[in-house]
Structure 1
């Protein structure tokens, strides 16, 4: 199995917690987070998408949010994903 646990919200209880994994085979980062609220989604749409992209969220995609306290875990996941592609 190439998917590896990287970290979980440090303020977690025992369930439903933001979590990060890395697939060492292809460097993919997977994130479990809280589903964004309607207000957050509206703010994302107002902020816009990159040039040349429709300003929509397709049905097969989702906006999630994770606590800022997880930034170190995301950095580690990015570093791990990058390293996995150097082999």
Structure 2
């Protein structure tokens, strides 16, 4: 799988997080893991093989479908 780098948070410092890639079938997202128990309770059960990430809305510019109305 060859991933295409789409961008990183414009306000990110040198860590480059959050970042977004396209692997052809999906978006791969590096973001901030949500650990706040109140937020996780609102989300509900998250399977052990998954995680929940937070990215800022300003990063929507890196998702092509967001601008095309798809």
Considering the TM-score relative to the shorter chain, is it more than 0.5? yes
Q: CA deviation at 1:39?
A: 2.4
Higher Cα radius of gyration: 1
- The structure with the largest helix share of the pair is 1
Higher relative contact order (CA 8 A, sep 6+): 1
| Paired residue total | 65
Unaligned runs of 5+ residues in structure 1 are 46-55, 80-87
How far 1:16 moved relative to its partner?
5.2
TM-score by length of 1: 0.65
User: Which aligned segments of 4 or more residues in structure 1 are displaced greater than 2 angstroms?
Assistant: none
Root-mean-square deviation (CA), in Å? Answer: 1.8
